[in-house]
Amino acid sequence: MPPSPATSAPPLPRRRTLHGQFVQRLLWPLVLAFVLAAGTTATVNYHSEKAQHTALREQTLRIFARTLIKPLWDCDGATARGIVDTLAQQPLVQAVRLHDSCGDNVIASESALDTILPAQDPAHTNQLAMPLHHRDEQGRDHQVGHLSVQFTPFSMAQAAMQNLGQQLAVFAAMLVVVLLGAALVFRHLIGRPLARFRQAISDQRTVRSHAGPADAGEGLRNDELSDVVQAYDALLEELDSRFARQSTLAHCARSLLATAAGQQSPLPEVLAQVLRTTGADRIYLAENLQTTATTWQAQARVVAGAPWPDAAQALVPARWRSCFEERSGLLGTVEDLPEPERQQLIAAGVRSVAALPVWGQGQWFGYLCVQDLQQQRRWSDSERVFLHTVADMIGAFLESRQHTRTLDRAIVQLRDSERALQHRARHDPLTGLGNRVVLEEALGHALAHAQAGEDLHGYVLLLDLDGFKPVNDTHGHAAGDVLLQTVAQRLQACLRSTDTVTRLGGDEFVIVAQGKGPQFQLDQLLAKVTAAVEAPVDYLGQALQVGASIGAARFPEAGRSSAELLVRADQAMYAAKLAKRLPR
Beta bridge partners of 434: 427, 502
pLDDT per residue as tens digits for the range 383-406 = 888 889 988 888 888 888 888 888
What local confidence, expressed as pLDDT, does residue 22 receive? 65
What local confidence, expressed as pLDDT, does residue 295 receive? 35
Torsion (CA) 201, 205, 208, 214 in degrees, nearest 10: 10
What local confidence, expressed as pLDDT, does residue 463 receive? 94
What local confidence, expressed as pLDDT, does residue 1 receive? 44
User: How many H-runs (helices) and E-runs (strands) does the chain carry?
Assistant: 16, 16
Q: How many CB atoms lie within 10 A of CB 13?
A: 6
Q: Which residues of the chain have pLDDT under 70?
A: 1-24, 26, 102-104, 109-125, 154-167, 186-198, 200-229, 232, 259-263, 289-317, 453-455, 517-520, 582-584
Nearest Cα neighbor of 465 from 491, 495, 439, 438 is 491
H/E run at residue 233: helix 224-258
Using a 10 angstrom Cβ sphere, with 0-12 exposed, 13-18 middle and 19 or more buried, the burial of residue 173 is exposed
DSSP alpha helices (H): ranges in 427-521? 436-451, 468-475, 477-494
Nearest Cα neighbor of 327 from 395, 379, 400, 381 is 395
What local confidence, expressed as pLDDT, does residue 160 receive? 58
Beta bridge partners of 523: none
What local confidence, expressed as pLDDT, does residue 583 receive? 60
Output the CA torsion sign for 162, 164, 169, 171: positive
Compute the distance between CA of residue 84 and CA of residue 505 in angstroms, rounded to an integer: 156
What letter does residue 460 receive in the DSSP assignment? Answer: E
Compute the distance between CA of residue 116 and CA of residue 93 in angstroms, rounded to an integer: 11
Instruction: Output helix, strand, coil percentages for the chain, rounded to the nearest 5.
Output: 55, 20, 25
What local confidence, expressed as pLDDT, does residue 505 receive? 87
Active site annotation includes 507: yes
Compute the distance between CA of residue 233 and CA of residue 243 in angstroms, rounded to an integer: 15
What local confidence, expressed as pLDDT, does residue 161 receive? 63
Compute the distance between CA of residue 314 and CA of residue 221 in angstroms, rounded to an integer: 49
Q: What is the DSSP string of 494-508?
A: HS-TTSEEEEEETTE
- The matching CATH number, chosen from 3.40.50.1860, 3.30.450.40, 3.30.70.1400, 3.10.20.30, for 245-405 is 3.30.450.40
Compute the distance between CA of residue 112 and CA of residue 148 in angstroms, rounded to an integer: 10
What local confidence, expressed as pLDDT, does residue 571 receive? 94
Share of the chain above pLDDT 90, in %: 17
Q: Given 233, 372, 428, 507, which residue is catalytic?
A: 507
Query: Is 245-405's fold the same as 436-581's?
Result: no
Which amino acid, one-letter code, is at 1?
A: M
The span from the first CA to the last CA of the chain, in angstroms, equals: 119
**Full-prediction pTM beyond 0.85?**
no
Q: Under a CB-based contact definition with an 8 Å cutoff, are residues 300 and 369 in contact?
A: no
Compute the distance between CA of residue 70 and CA of residue 81 in angstroms, rounded to an integer: 13
The architecture (CATH level 2) of 436-581 comes to: 2-Layer Sandwich (3.30)
For the chain, the structural domain boundaries read: 17-219, 245-405, 436-581
